Amino acid sequence: MVKVLVVDDSALMRKALKTMLTDSGDVEVVLARNGEDALDVLGREKPDVVTLDINMPVMDGLTCLAEIMREQPTPVVMVSSLTERGAMATLEALELGAVDYVAKPGGTVSLNMADATAEIVAKVKKAAGARVRAGGSLTARLRRQREEAAAAPRLQRRSTPGSTRSTAESAADLVVIGSSTGGPALLSTLLADLPADFAPAVVIAQHMPASFTGALAGRLDAACALPVQEVTALTKVEPGHVYVARGDADMVLTRRGGDLVARPTPAGSQYRWHPSVDRLTASAMECVDPTRTIGVLLTGMGDDGAEQMAALKARGGRTVAESEDSAVVWGMPGQLVARGGASQVLHSADITAQVLAWA
């Protein structure tokens, strides 16, 4: 039985969320009207997961989230509007420690809730098993972890035979990154550690709706020394630049007149998640030497990216899977490890250093 605390100032929304969750089976729901009420209920009920609205009176969702992460770390799924303002607030929530987010049905709840039910139920139940640690925001935790890593070797670091290469063999032209649940905040931290003279191009497939990926690219650009942009049209891929796939679609790499270009393309029906990490990685191997390509598969549910990054390693590329002890959800990287496709399995605090060593 999963206990869920639903926090929303709308009585109608509270009722709708309670109904969909309890009707799914094996879920107990408790309710709160605002952030202040939620903190009181949280202390009494000890829920497994919290759904949290952003805009509420008395205490808003972001303030409440910060208190939850500080006082009683619990998996939180934000219930967000798919607007530019909602996207920015949601990304801030993810950096504060929220596990995931779902779109808040717009208009009349009864007309929109059926379409959102499956996603909300799946994400809430999955979040109940997500890894959440005390100690503030993800950025602060990773900073501390990097300091600890510098002082002592990490015990969880593993490598596969042949993963150590000479300096000449280690040059790279391209880094492909895939992530989903828990990924946005981690991307911000990892990219912030790349120096301004980082040579390879970086392409990113983060599972998100189209209304969020532009905001994500903007936040990454502000946090990173490298230029970051969302790919919304045919775009030449330049060394030392970062390219984010547009949400609700896929991004593929190809050659045009000898230049490497990124192209947005409609979501392929043969791929379950979008933007597809598998599709991006497969296209990269067709136009960039796999031995000069690095694949990084971060936290996320499912197995997107595992098949093609394993193929990348088999063709001489180097790959990193985020380790189970740091991933919010060890689905995608876990599947890469299960396929024998990870050159390195690393704690999130160690990933950028390994990419820099290879690149």
CA distance 229 to 244: 6
Residue recorded with tokens 């997500």: 130
Of 53, 80, 173, 207, catalytic? 207
* Residues linked to residue 330 through DSSP beta bridges, in sequence order: 300
Count other C-beta atoms under 10 Å from residue 215's C-beta.
22
Q: How far is CA 200 from the centre of its chain?
A: 21
CA distance 281 to 308: 6
250 is catalytic: no
Q: Going along 45-161, which residue ranges are E strands? A: 49-53, 76-80, 100-103, 158-159
Of 278, 304, 347, 348, catalytic? 304
180 is catalytic: yes
Q: Are 130 and 181 in contact (CB under 8 A)?
A: yes
CA angle 259, 264, 268 (to 5 degrees): 125
Question: Under DSSP, is residue 342 helix (H, G, I), strand (E, B) or coil?
Answer: coil
Closest to 186 in 3D by CA, of 303, 54, 323, 48: 323
From first CA to last CA, the distance across the chain in angstroms is 47
Read off the tokens for 142. 């990773």
CA angle 21, 24, 27 (to 5 degrees): 60
179 is catalytic: no
Of 137, 180, 211, 326, catalytic? 180
Give the residue numbers annotated as catalytic, written as ranges: 180, 207, 304
